[in-house]
Chain A
Amino acid sequence: MNLGKAIHQQNGLRYIIELLQLQSSVGRQRMLQQLFMSDPVVLEKEFELLSEMVERFKNSHFLGAIKVIIQRLQDLHDIQGTLNNLSGKAVLDDIELFEIKRFALLADEIRKQLKVLDYNGIVISDLTKVIKILDPEQNHIPHFFIYDAYSEPLSALRKKRKAIKDQQSEEALQIHQQCIEIEDEIRKALSTKLWAFYTEISEAWQAVAELDFMLARARLAVDLELVKPQISIDSSNFTRLFHPQVKSLLEQQNQQFQPWDISLHKAPCIITGANMAGKTMLLKTIALNQYLFQFGFFVAAASAEIVPVEKIMTGIGDEQSELSGLSSFAAEMLNIQAIIAQARAGKKLLVLIDEPARTTNPHEGIAIANALIDLLEKLEVRSLITTHYSGLKTNCRKLRVKGLHFPTNTEPITVANINQYMDYSLVTHKSDEVPREALQIAKILGIDKALTDGAKLYADLNEKKL
């Protein structure tokens, strides 16, 4: 899977990608082709390179060089078509030769600035020989034509032609024809010389794309206060994990995002908590950060040790599904089946499921959820599952979102201020029972009193029956 595909499957990721400040179209293409990486060694190296760039970004000493590089990247044109012609050993025309010269000059300047940055993570091949071929007058200005300096006979013929008064005369036309012939020979000779440098030019082209993407990721890390993740072998541990988009939204409303501390082991973990306690948001945040990690981005936390997986599988309700058109229960079960199949095949997974079996009757729902957790435990799947079901008979780890704490003063809780009274932190939860705050939350939401009071009567009745 590459990042271009993942953006379409993961809404949170799309938000992050839109914040990436890529300067060139080739940088954007490079970004979309970024692969989902699972190999710890590859990831380690990727984060090392990114970390070095982030350090450059934070150091005001390097701002000038970074600014110049960004400007040069903005000036880049897409020369892929010309590169194809070069690799196909075609004779290039003036426009194509101009493109290569312009690119070589830009790449050369970027290369010099990278030296100022003392950054060795990306190597841009030395194109001075290419510049020399296309810049016989050595003025380092990005313009091009078949210069007089290429050929003495051409230069002499051009002078002779200019001296002729009537440009339409037989003599002038004849000289012009001779000039064209020599120019064509020169284009062929230049092209032949450039064919030999195809690899260098093409590598430089890929390197500037790489640099654009690297710079964009470094800038993002600084802007969003992301952190370099450590690679872990058995458990993922996040401290002060956050969701950049939601954090930014809350900050715009002068509210604070409450980050989570959480660890994930090679087994299922159950999350319970009241409605509106952010359980679903927690799952989305973990999914987003695992994706960021595996695509080589820094992550949204104060610190993070993360276990790389081969596949992230979710049942959160916002994923694009080929199963649409089915009943919600059928779609959900088939999604779970896909997860089980991957787990049985021995794939290293991260599984995040929001309220499994919520779309059917609670009696069988609990039974299905229980069996699913048993199976995930048996298959040793790293998974996080939220539920509202009480009485799940399982020995796996359980966490609870602390939830509402009621104010000591008489201020009523409303939708507007609920964020202040909700404690989103996670605590270990021993019992099988889950908190019952649905009716309270419904009241806060201002739901019709007849409905909430009626529900309370039924709830008390059920309680008595038990």
Chain B
Amino acid sequence: MPFVDEILKYKSVSIVGMEKNTGKTECLNYVLKRLENSSHKLAITSIGLDGEGMDQVSLTHKPEIHLKEGDVFVTSEAYYRTKKLDAKILNLSKQRTSMGRLVTARVTAAGKVLIAGPSDTFWLKKLLESLSQFGVQTTLVDGALSRQSLGSPAITESMVLATGAALSANMQTLISKTAFLHELINLPLWDSEKSDELLQITSGLWAIDKQGEVHDLGIESAFLLEDNKDKLFEFGTTFYVSGAVTAGLLNFLRMQADIENTVIIARDFSHIFADSDSYHAFTKRGGQIKVLLQTKLISVCVNPVSPQGYVLDSKVLREKLMERIGIPVYDLFKL
């Protein structure tokens, strides 16, 4: 399986679903199954999950992940107590999630477990660094894309995207939405010494002047732009948006005089909530968006079946999508 070999080249890989039931967990289990006989040292955790055993929206069952002997996993103590495998506890976190502390453990007899990892990006970063002490070579992160989530999968080196009929039962819409996300994932990195400084900032709209100095514009979020138009251009046209990059912000900036020189810096692709139309209108006028955290998209997995029972033609979907985004697309249910 080509993309599984690809995964092993990275220290961390997030597996991200564009929507619930797009087959993210199947994708994760598929990778794990393919590596059953590999000696590669794997760890599994998650980020930004609400950690419900049942999917609250569609009431479908949230599946457990099957791990083999020797795998390392990180999950909450609540889930650790419900595990259906044998494991040796290696570590326990000081910090707590809403589901308790995090247990790091090594599987001693294969079986299933529910995974709920760190609740924020910084914690995940620390965790990923710490796992190497247990001999881990690659960590798979069950990721989520959510406006509410403080955790972003962009902290991992690479990513596998799960998409499918659950996102849209209309193939054209599904392809457009997926291709747009692919475009956002490939946004250029804002390469500057100031990157780390900006990552520490978690709220508000900021400007970076010609000398590279960072200024607080005193605007809490892009949603509050209308009342603060006067303050916006005091330090030039390079902005750091610590929270969501909204359609409103892009539409507003597009109308301004200096749009050709306008650069928006976002934390990462998951913080861009503008729709495709607003985004493209913005870039067409010369505006640019860059990110502080960048991840490499290895491949896309599609699930042609929606939870309501729609089924798309897998072969056509794969081919059209591959043509559009230029990276491998797989249907795991067909492999």
Contacts and interface: CB of A to CB of B under 8 A. Distances in A.
Contacts of B92: 77, 95, 98-99, 102
Interface string A141-158: 011110000000000001
Given A93-B81, A95-B77, A95-B103, A143 B89 contact: yes
Given A95-B77, A95-B80, A158 B89 contact: no
B89 A98 contact: yes
Contact of B86 (A77, A95, A98, A145): A145
Contact of B90 (A93, A143, A161, A162): A143
A77 B89 contact: no
Nearest to A75: B94
A162 B85 CA distance: 12
Instruction: Using C-beta atoms within 8 Å of the partner chain, give the interface range for chain B.
Output: 10 to 19
Given A77-B94, A93-B81, A95-B80, A144 B109 contact: no
Nearest to A146: B86
B154 interface: no
A152 B90 CA distance: 23
Given A95-B92, A145-B88, A145-B89, A161 B109 contact: yes
B127 to A, nearest CB: 16
A462 B190 CA distance: 74
Interface in B66-103: 77, 80-81, 86-92, 94, 103
B68 to A, nearest CB: 11
Contact of A167 (B103, B106, B108, B110): B110
A167 B112 CA distance: 12
A205 to B, nearest CB: 16
Contacts of B108: 145
B113 to A, nearest CB: 13
Contacts of B86: 145, 158, 179
A145 B87 contact: yes
Nearest to B84: A176
Contacts of A179: 86
Centre residue among A94, A99, A144 by max chain B CB count within 10 A:
A94
Given A93-B81, A95-B103, A162-B109, A144 B89 contact: yes
Interface string A101-143: 0100000000000000000000000000000000000000011
Given A93-B81, A95-B77, A158 B109 contact: yes
Contacts of B91: 142-143
Contacts of A99: 92
A179 B85 CA distance: 12
Contacts of B81: 93, 95
Interface residues of A, number: 17
Interface in A165-211: 167, 179
Contacts of A95: 77, 80-81, 89, 92, 103
Contacts of A142: 91
Contacts of B80: 94-95
A78 B89 CA distance: 17
Nearest to A147: B88
Centre residue among B86, B91, B108, B109 by max chain A CB count within 10 A:
B86
Contacts of A144: 88-89
A67 B269 CA distance: 43
Nearest to A97: B89
B82 to A, nearest CB: 12
Contacts of A102: 92
B203 to A, nearest CB: 25
A77 B91 CA distance: 11
A99 B91 CA distance: 9
Centre residue among B81, B87, B88, B103 by max chain A CB count within 10 A:
B88
Contacts of A162: 109
Contacts of A145: 86-89, 108
Interface string A350-392: 0000000000000000000000000000000000000000000
A65 to B, nearest CB: 24
A143 B88 contact: yes
A161 B111 CA distance: 12
Nearest to A98: B89
A305 B80 CA distance: 58
Contacts of B94: 77-78
Contacts of A167: 110-111
Nearest to A162: B109
Interface in B92-141: 92, 94, 103, 106, 108-111
A84 to B, nearest CB: 16
Interface string B182-224: 0000000000000000000000000000000000000000000
A146 B88 CA distance: 8
Nearest to A94: B89
A132 to B, nearest CB: 18
A167 B110 CA distance: 9
B78 to A, nearest CB: 10
Contacts of B110: 167
Contacts of A94: 80, 89
Contacts of B90: 143
Nearest to A148: B108
B34 to A, nearest CB: 18
Contacts of A98: 89, 92
Interface of A: 77-78, 93-95, 98-99, 102, 142-145, 158, 161-162, 167, 179
Please name the 4 residue pairs, one residue from A and one from B, whose CB atoms are nearest each other, closest first: A145-B88, A98-B89, A143-B90, A144-B89
Given A95-B89, A98-B89, A98-B92, 14 more contacts: A93-B81, A95-B77, A95-B81, A95-B92, A102-B92, A143-B89, A143-B91, A143-B106, A145-B87, A145-B89, A145-B108, A158-B109, A167-B110, A179-B86
18 contacts: A78-B94, A93-B81, A94-B89, A95-B80, A95-B89, A95-B92, A98-B89, A102-B92, A143-B88, A143-B89, A143-B91, A143-B106, A144-B89, A145-B87, A158-B86, A161-B109, A162-B109, A167-B110
